[in-house]
Amino acid sequence: MADRDRAGGSLVDRLAGEMRQRIASRGLVPGAKLPSIRALAESGGVSKSTAVEVYDRLVAEGVIQSRRGSGFYVAGHTPPLSVADVGPRLDRAIDPFWVSRQSLEAGDDVLKPGCGWLPPSWLPEDGLRRSLRTLARANGNALVDYGTPLGLPALRQLLARRMAERGIEASPDQILITESGTQAIDLLCRMLIEPDDVVLVDDPCYFNFHALLRAHRARIIGIPFTPNGPDMDAFAAALEAHRPRLYVTNSGIHNPTGATLSHATAHRLLKLAEAHDLTIIEDDIFADFEEDPAPRLGALDGLDRVIQIGSFSKALSASVRCGYVAIRHDWMERLVDLRIATSFGAPRLSAELVVRTLQDGSYRKHVAALRERLARARLRTAQHLDEIGISRWIEPRAGMFLWCSLPDGVDAAELARAALADGVLLAPGNVFSLTQSAGRFLRMNVAQCGDPRIFRVLSDRVARA
Amino acid sequence: MADRDRAGGSLVDRLAGEMRQRIASRGLVPGAKLPSIRALAESGGVSKSTAVEVYDRLVAEGVIQSRRGSGFYVAGHTPPLSVADVGPRLDRAIDPFWVSRQSLEAGDDVLKPGCGWLPPSWLPEDGLRRSLRTLARANGNALVDYGTPLGLPALRQLLARRMAERGIEASPDQILITESGTQAIDLLCRMLIEPDDVVLVDDPCYFNFHALLRAHRARIIGIPFTPNGPDMDAFAAALEAHRPRLYVTNSGIHNPTGATLSHATAHRLLKLAEAHDLTIIEDDIFADFEEDPAPRLGALDGLDRVIQIGSFSKALSASVRCGYVAIRHDWMERLVDLRIATSFGAPRLSAELVVRTLQDGSYRKHVAALRERLARARLRTAQHLDEIGISRWIEPRAGMFLWCSLPDGVDAAELARAALADGVLLAPGNVFSLTQSAGRFLRMNVAQCGDPRIFRVLSDRVARA
């Protein structure tokens, strides 16, 4: 008879389950050698015969393979994983990929207040159509040849000017054009961190930071987030306790809360970063949504230990893939080499389109109108939510997100599952929370809240919970 | 007095140099903890006082930092590296980044027989201009919204049909659209290998495979390449000796040699791969250049353990970033999640442009004309090279590359340095060779050899060597 643990489950079940999970989450990859029977028995605190049973079962399932005289290995052809099997999973609905995949895959019949971008009709289609026509008449090299390693000079110059308007001094040769904001962070992680390095994020934060940092095998530590930025006492304690290499944040209009950094927090944060030699990636992807810019770490620090990234997916187009990094000059060479190694050329045609669209006089008008439209949508959405008894954590100064607190007894993940059955995609709070401490929160995208059915479904589901 | 090694150099010099090199090549990254004084002394076979001297010197240089009571760490703000400092470097001119960076950065006045792509005037600019105009009238979502996670369905269907023509059965849901062929391989490496896993490549092979695999911290083993494909005895021996996880090759029209796989080699290779549970990435980036397709591993294997990747950079446009992966169905979910984590959306606008251009009747005509033009250029270039006493390793059946053998006593890296001073960018053989065994070879791109000055410079420099 197999050992049993205190919870009454079979130890074989538990150990086999843990190993399946490590394989599913890539903690162990196809072909990796597994611990010996003896080592498994010791680390699991079980008898050798129990360890043998665990491996026998996983061999029978095809998850691992036994190689004669050599030991046990993760099977080469690992069985397919469902999305929910990837990464730590405290609750099926709150997997970081859940909202991404649902948002990208949902048909046009699904309402998407949980998604992280604007509806297509809010974006400057006409400007893009004009840019495409202009580009069709451009010099042939722009259409067919690789660009320069840093990316299109005209776009880098334009970005340098835009950053200067926000108090960030970056010369064009401190700017690298990337395929997206996400790729920008990914490249930086490749340059800056090693497996098992500690990285700080906000709790809550943009959920894809978790997925991205896990792909780099970082150890992620969440810092509680306040309406003024990260909790500075917790931040200081984490620096002491974990010696992190990196802090990744979007300080501008924080995702998911919509909060902005206070000057005091920004200043204290940079002092701590300096004392602990911490590098900071400041994701400024929502910069265009802000009328009066809140403090930016990159501006205060002069891009010394802060690296800014951004993209054009949010205010211009998500179809045109283009992002950027602004970084201290002496770190650029290595970044360029890494980019060539891992994706070769800069996205030239996308950059040509972006620079034409940004230079078009209509873009500033579009952005100004967008800010007002978002302000109205925030107000209107807040009123609807008030009626259902859903309150806001803060009233954001800008942006598309409201971080909403559900009435007592309503669990956001359960609500999201139920609402999806009604054709409404929500973003439950724990998707954004490393510590799973946001189970009563929802991130609402006000630009996607125009359809009154959303509030009928919410009201109905909240009442039933 | 410090210890001295047999070569007469100071041991402090040698150990400090080795550590600088490990830091420069990212073997040790900013913040990484260094071995203790005692460990350094033991591993370096030196006294503890010598080890102390090594660290003192590196601290003085700012390369490493001492933290009281804790030991030595790589400095956070590592000094800038020159390109040539990255990665193993047996010869300054043969760094894998040398050709990439020179090719991407060289002005229009530099002649580039060493670069890896066609001149802009050889690419279908008119087709792209038409596609841009069509796209300017497309449905707005195509211009501004994210695409589906796998990428544009119309392009995946078209790719599935094109692959079927070459005997590769892949359904559209086995195809993932990526930003580039390089990004496709990078994503696959993320899924398939761990740091220190062994990966086989051809020797010689496309130089960026070395850079990419180093970014993944793989241990790279080169297999000597023959006119029929990799040397199968060496391949079998490497499988036994190193238990590699992965083999990365471009078997179609091999870069840099222009060779194609024989049926016998392909068959034996796949049998060995099966016996050793080896996964293969087949980079089919030159597929469009071939009239009668040579054997493809992906076709023979039915995309079981072979994964094919490709892109449109070579025959269509390098400005429009778009590539793809064709992979067994049950590996797709994990690949998609990794892509979302590391670059989020698929390149939608690029895919819309590519599919329109490929569907345009003119594309097949362009490709047919391109093949003939390349055949003529291969002949003409070969004649010019014959006159200088530069011979070919083989006469390739297709493609833009000739793998050329220099007369006795001429070193390709020295020739490349000298030619660059004359405004001619060459690709010296050792850039492609892990074992640095191609010092007498050059890769010549016949499409970039139209200017007679190239042969004058070659002739002159060869005569002087």
Tell whether A423 is covered by a domain.
yes
Distance, in Å, from the CA atom of A59 to the CA atom of B426, rounded to the nearest integer, reads: 53
pLDDT of residue A4: 44
Same-domain status, B89 and B144: no
Short-list B270, B339, B338, B337, CA closest to B305 = B270
A97-141 pLDDT, tens digit each: 778 888 888 888 899 999 999 999 999 999 999 999 999 999 889
Distance, in Å, from the CA atom of B431 to the CA atom of B255, rounded to the nearest integer, reads: 12
In a mutational test of the A interface, the residue from B193, B306, B317, B321 whose CB has the highest number of chain A CBs within 10 Å is B321
Residues 417-446 of B with CB under 8 A from A: none
Q: Residue B326 carries which side chain, given as an amino acid letter?
A: A
pLDDT of residue A84: 31
pLDDT of residue A349: 95
Residues of B whose CB is below 8 A from A32: 194
In a mutational test of the B interface, the residue from A22, A78, A85, A143 whose CB has the highest number of chain B CBs within 10 Å is A143
Distance, in Å, from the CA atom of A222 to the CA atom of A429, rounded to the nearest integer, reads: 14
Q: For residue B8, what pLDDT band results from cuts at 50, 70 and 90?
A: very low
Total domain count for chain A? Answer: 3
Residues of A whose CB is below 8 A from B129: 136-137, 143
Tell whether B106 is covered by a domain.
yes
Residues of A whose CB is below 8 A from B121: 140
Q: Residue A331 carries which side chain, given as an amino acid letter?
A: W
Of A31, A81, A340, the CB nearest to B97: A340
Strand order in the sheet with A401-405: A391-392, A401-405, A441-445, A427-428
The answer to whether B393 and B460 are in contact (CB under 8 A) is: no
Of B80, B125, B136, the CB nearest to A133: B136
Cβ contact, residue pair A144, B342, below 8 Å: no
Cβ contact, residue pair A345, B141, below 8 Å: no
The answer to whether A190 and B189 are in contact (CB under 8 A) is: no
In the predicted structure, residue B99 carries a pLDDT above the cut 80: yes
Closest residue on chain A to B243 (Cα):
A31
Tell whether A146 is covered by a domain.
yes
- Mean pLDDT to the nearest integer, B300-326: 96
From B329, B345, B361, give the residue that closes a domain: B361
Domain that holds residue B142: 126-361
Percent of chain B with pLDDT over 70: 92
A132: closest CA of chain B, how far (Å): 6
B127-186 pLDDT, tens digit each: 999 999 999 999 889 999 998 999 999 999 999 999 998 899 999 999 999 999 999 999
Q: Domain containing A388 — which CATH number? A: 3.90.1150.10
Same-domain status, B176 and B68: no
Cβ contact, residue pair A101, B149, below 8 Å: yes
Distance, in Å, from the CA atom of B126 to the CA atom of B134, rounded to the nearest integer, reads: 12
Strands B279-283 and B246-249: parallel
pLDDT of residue A57: 78
Cβ contact, residue pair A350, B352, below 8 Å: no
Q: How many CA atoms lie within 13 A of B92 on its CB side?
A: 4
A143: closest CA of chain B, how far (Å): 6
The answer to whether A398 and A284 are in contact (CB under 8 A) is: no
pLDDT of residue A166: 87
Cβ contact, residue pair B97, A149, below 8 Å: no
The set of residues, in sequence order, having a beta carbon less than 8 Å from that of A3 and lying 6+ positions away, is A10, A11, A12, A46, A47, A50
DSSP code of B344? -
Q: Domain containing B33 — which CATH number? A: 1.10.10.10
A190: closest CA of chain B, how far (Å): 8
Q: For residue A60, what pLDDT band results from cuts at 50, 70 and 90?
A: low
Distance, in Å, from the CA atom of B39 to the CA atom of B333, rounded to the nearest integer, reads: 44
Q: Whole-number mean pLDDT of chain B?
A: 89
Give start and end residues of each alpha helix (H) in A217-361. Answer: 232-242, 263-275, 297-301, 332-343, 348-359
From A345, A361, A377, give the residue that closes a domain: A361
Tell whether A1 is covered by a domain.
no
A186-245 pLDDT, tens digit each: 999 999 999 999 999 999 999 999 999 999 999 999 999 999 999 999 999 999 999 999
Closest residue on chain A to B316 (Cα):
A144
Closest residue on chain A to B209 (Cα):
A341
Q: For residue A353, what pLDDT band results from cuts at 50, 70 and 90?
A: very high
Same-domain status, A432 and A292: no
Residues of A whose CB is below 8 A from B336: 101
**Which of B131-135's residues contact partners 24+ apart within 8 Å by CB, and which partners?**
B131/B353, B131/B356, B131/B357, B131/B360, B132/A132, B132/A133, B132/A135, B132/A136, B132/A143, B132/B353, B133/A132, B133/A133, B133/A136, B134/B356, B135/A132, B135/B349, B135/B352, B135/B353, B135/B356
**Which of B196-200's residues contact partners 24+ apart within 8 Å by CB, and which partners?**
B197/A31, B197/B244, B197/B245, B197/B246, B198/B242, B198/B243, B198/B244, B198/B245, B199/B244, B199/B245, B199/B246, B199/B247, B199/B248, B200/B230, B200/B235, B200/B238, B200/B242, B200/B244, B200/B246, B200/B247, B200/B248, B200/B278
Q: Domain containing A191 — which CATH number? A: 3.40.640.10
Residues 339-398 of A with CB under 8 A from B: 340-345, 347-350, 352-353
In the predicted structure, residue A79 carries a pLDDT above the cut 50: no
pLDDT of residue A2: 40
CA distances, A361 to each of A118, A356, B215 (Å): 21, 10, 42
Distance, in Å, from the CA atom of B332 to the CA atom of A193, rounded to the nearest integer, reads: 27
Rg (CA), chain A: 24
B277: closest CA of chain A, how far (Å): 6
Same-domain status, B295 and B213: yes
The answer to whether A169 and B166 are in contact (CB under 8 A) is: no
Residues of A whose CB is below 8 A from B130: 136
Same-domain status, A336 and A395: no
**Dihedral of CA B210/B212/B214/B219: which sign?**
negative
The DSSP element (H or E) to which B441 belongs, if any, is strand B441-445
A106: closest CA of chain B, how far (Å): 9
A389: closest CA of chain B, how far (Å): 33
Same-domain status, A195 and A305: yes
Tokens of B41: 């002394």
**Location of structure tokens 């092979």:** B205
Tell whether B391 is covered by a domain.
yes
Same-domain status, A352 and A389: no
Tell whether B6 is covered by a domain.
no
Residues of B whose CB is below 8 A from A144: 120, 123-125, 128, 316-319
In the predicted structure, residue A90 carries a pLDDT above the cut 60: no
From B312, B334, B361, give the residue that closes a domain: B361
Tokens of B131: 């596609």
Give the residue, B306 or A84, on which the prediction is more confident: B306
Residues 247-306 of A with CB under 8 A from B: 277, 279, 305
Here the ipTM equals 0.80
**Location of structure tokens 């943009």:** A206
Same-domain status, A20 and A148: no
Q: For residue B74, what pLDDT band results from cuts at 50, 70 and 90?
A: confident
A28-41 pLDDT, tens digit each: 777 778 888 888 88
A138: closest CA of chain B, how far (Å): 9
pLDDT of residue B82: 31
- Mean pLDDT to the nearest integer, B407-434: 93
- Mean pLDDT to the nearest integer, B343-359: 94
Cβ contact, residue pair A319, B193, below 8 Å: no
pLDDT of residue B185: 98
Cβ contact, residue pair B194, A330, below 8 Å: no
Give start and end residues of each alpha helix (H) in A148-231. Answer: 153-165, 181-192, 207-215
B33 phi and psi angles, rounded to 5 deg: -80, 135
Tell whether B2 is covered by a domain.
no
In the predicted structure, residue A17 carries a pLDDT above the cut 90: no
B207-241 pLDDT, tens digit each: 999 999 999 999 999 999 999 999 999 999 999 99
How many helices (H) and strands (E) would you count in chain A? 17, 14
Of B105, B136, B305, the CB nearest to A132: B136
pLDDT of residue B197: 95
Of A29, A81, A147, the CB nearest to B333: A81
Coil, helix or strand at residue B224: strand
The answer to whether B288 and B261 are in contact (CB under 8 A) is: no
Residues 26-65 of B with CB under 8 A from A: 26, 29-32, 65
Strands A246-249 and A279-283: parallel
Tell whether A3 is covered by a domain.
no
Cβ contact, residue pair A347, B97, below 8 Å: no
Residues of B whose CB is below 8 A from A255: none
Of B215, B317, B350, the CB nearest to A341: B215
Cβ contact, residue pair B136, A137, below 8 Å: no
B155: closest CA of chain A, how far (Å): 15
Same-domain status, B352 and B456: no
Coil, helix or strand at residue A30: coil
Closest residue on chain A to B246 (Cα):
A31
The answer to whether B373 and B213 are in contact (CB under 8 A) is: no
Q: For residue A93, what pLDDT band results from cuts at 50, 70 and 90?
A: very low
Distance, in Å, from the CA atom of B421 to the CA atom of B430, rounded to the nearest integer, reads: 19
The answer to whether A224 and A230 are in contact (CB under 8 A) is: yes
pLDDT of residue A252: 84
Same-domain status, B187 and B272: yes
Cβ contact, residue pair B347, A179, below 8 Å: yes
For residue B361, how many other CB atoms are within 10 A of its CB?
8
Distance, in Å, from the CA atom of B258 to the CA atom of B251, rounded to the nearest integer, reads: 9
Same-domain status, A303 and A221: yes
Distance, in Å, from the CA atom of A201 to the CA atom of A234, rounded to the nearest integer, reads: 12
**Dihedral of CA A20/A21/A22/A23: which sign?**
positive
Distance, in Å, from the CA atom of B382 to the CA atom of A64, rounded to the nearest integer, reads: 53
Of A101, A105, A194, the CB nearest to B32: A194
Same-domain status, B88 and B214: no
Task: Give per-residue burial for A213-248: e unless 16+ CB within 10 Å, then b.
Answer: bbbbebebbbbebbbbbbbbebbbebbeeebbbbbb
In the predicted structure, residue B399 carries a pLDDT above the cut 90: yes
Residue B107 near chain A (CB below 8 Å): no
Residues 110-129 of B with CB under 8 A from A: 117, 120-121, 123-125, 128-129
Distance, in Å, from the CA atom of A221 to the CA atom of A229, rounded to the nearest integer, reads: 16
